[in-house]
Amino acid sequence: MTDDSVMEIIKVVAEKTGIPAPVIHKAWKNQFKVVKDTMQDATKGMPESFKTIYLARLGKFVPRPTMVSQVRGKGVGNE
Protein backbone atom coordinates (compact mmCIF):
# COMPACT_ATOMS: atom_id res chain seq x y z
CA MET A 1 0.00 0.00 0.00
CA THR A 2 1.44 3.38 -0.97
CA ASP A 3 1.62 6.38 1.31
CA ASP A 4 -0.90 8.17 -0.90
CA SER A 5 -3.47 5.38 -0.61
CA VAL A 6 -2.95 5.15 3.16
CA MET A 7 -3.45 8.87 3.53
CA GLU A 8 -6.58 8.73 1.38
CA ILE A 9 -8.05 5.99 3.57
CA ILE A 10 -7.15 7.94 6.71
CA LYS A 11 -8.81 11.04 5.25
CA VAL A 12 -12.03 9.11 4.52
CA VAL A 13 -12.08 7.56 7.99
CA ALA A 14 -11.47 10.99 9.56
CA GLU A 15 -14.38 12.50 7.64
CA LYS A 16 -16.74 9.64 8.56
CA THR A 17 -15.80 9.50 12.24
CA GLY A 18 -15.00 13.12 13.00
CA ILE A 19 -11.65 12.06 14.47
CA PRO A 20 -8.72 14.20 13.32
CA ALA A 21 -6.61 12.56 10.59
CA PRO A 22 -3.34 12.84 12.60
CA VAL A 23 -4.94 10.88 15.47
CA ILE A 24 -6.09 8.12 13.10
CA HIS A 25 -2.66 7.98 11.45
CA LYS A 26 -0.94 7.70 14.83
CA ALA A 27 -3.26 4.86 15.91
CA TRP A 28 -2.65 3.02 12.63
CA LYS A 29 1.14 3.35 12.91
CA ASN A 30 1.14 2.40 16.60
CA GLN A 31 -0.72 -0.86 15.91
CA PHE A 32 2.09 -2.12 13.69
CA LYS A 33 4.79 -0.78 16.00
CA VAL A 34 3.37 -3.02 18.74
CA VAL A 35 3.62 -6.02 16.38
CA LYS A 36 7.22 -5.15 15.48
CA ASP A 37 8.23 -4.63 19.12
CA THR A 38 6.57 -7.88 20.22
CA MET A 39 8.32 -9.86 17.50
CA GLN A 40 11.69 -8.28 18.32
CA ASP A 41 11.31 -9.24 21.99
CA ALA A 42 11.39 -12.94 21.06
CA THR A 43 14.63 -14.88 21.36
CA LYS A 44 15.97 -16.58 18.24
CA GLY A 45 16.10 -20.33 18.66
CA MET A 46 13.48 -20.30 21.42
CA PRO A 47 10.05 -20.80 19.80
CA GLU A 48 8.35 -20.56 23.19
CA SER A 49 9.50 -16.92 23.48
CA PHE A 50 7.37 -15.87 20.49
CA LYS A 51 4.04 -14.45 21.68
CA THR A 52 0.61 -14.53 20.06
CA ILE A 53 -0.38 -11.10 18.73
CA TYR A 54 -4.01 -10.03 18.32
CA LEU A 55 -4.95 -7.12 16.09
CA ALA A 56 -8.55 -5.94 16.09
CA ARG A 57 -10.18 -6.54 12.70
CA LEU A 58 -7.10 -8.42 11.40
CA GLY A 59 -7.14 -11.37 13.76
CA LYS A 60 -4.64 -13.35 15.75
CA PHE A 61 -1.08 -14.08 14.68
CA VAL A 62 0.03 -17.30 16.35
CA PRO A 63 3.66 -18.36 15.94
CA ARG A 64 3.99 -22.08 15.26
CA PRO A 65 7.11 -23.69 16.73
CA THR A 66 7.87 -25.54 13.48
CA MET A 67 7.77 -22.33 11.47
CA VAL A 68 9.90 -20.47 14.01
CA SER A 69 12.54 -23.20 13.90
CA GLN A 70 12.56 -23.15 10.07
CA VAL A 71 13.12 -19.40 10.04
CA ARG A 72 15.92 -19.60 12.61
CA GLY A 73 19.10 -18.12 11.21
CA LYS A 74 17.33 -16.42 8.31
CA GLY A 75 17.19 -12.68 8.48
CA VAL A 76 19.04 -9.53 7.67
CA GLY A 77 22.64 -10.36 6.92
CA ASN A 78 22.05 -14.14 7.11
CA GLU A 79 20.84 -14.81 3.57
Torsion angle in degrees (nearest 10) through CA of 34, 36, 39, 41: -70
pLDDT at residue 11 in the model? 95
List pLDDT tens digits, range 23-60.
999 988 888 888 888 888 888 777 778 888 888 777 88
pLDDT at residue 65 in the model? 72
Distance of alpha carbon 56 from alpha carbon 45, whole angstroms: 29
Q: What is the mean pLDDT of the chain?
A: 81
User: Taking the domains of the chain in order of start, what are their residue ranges?
Assistant: 1-41, 43-79
Distance of alpha carbon 18 from alpha carbon 66, whole angstroms: 45
pLDDT at residue 76 in the model? 44
pLDDT at residue 61 in the model? 82
Across 61-70, average pLDDT: 74
Please give the backbone phi and psi of residue 77, each rounded to the nearest 5 degrees, phi first. Answer: 85, -5
Distance of alpha carbon 40 from alpha carbon 38, whole angstroms: 5
Buried/exposed code over 6-30 (b: 16+ C-beta within 10 A; e: otherwise):
eeeebeeebeeeeeeeeebbeeeee
List pLDDT tens digits, range 13-32.
999 999 999 999 998 888 88
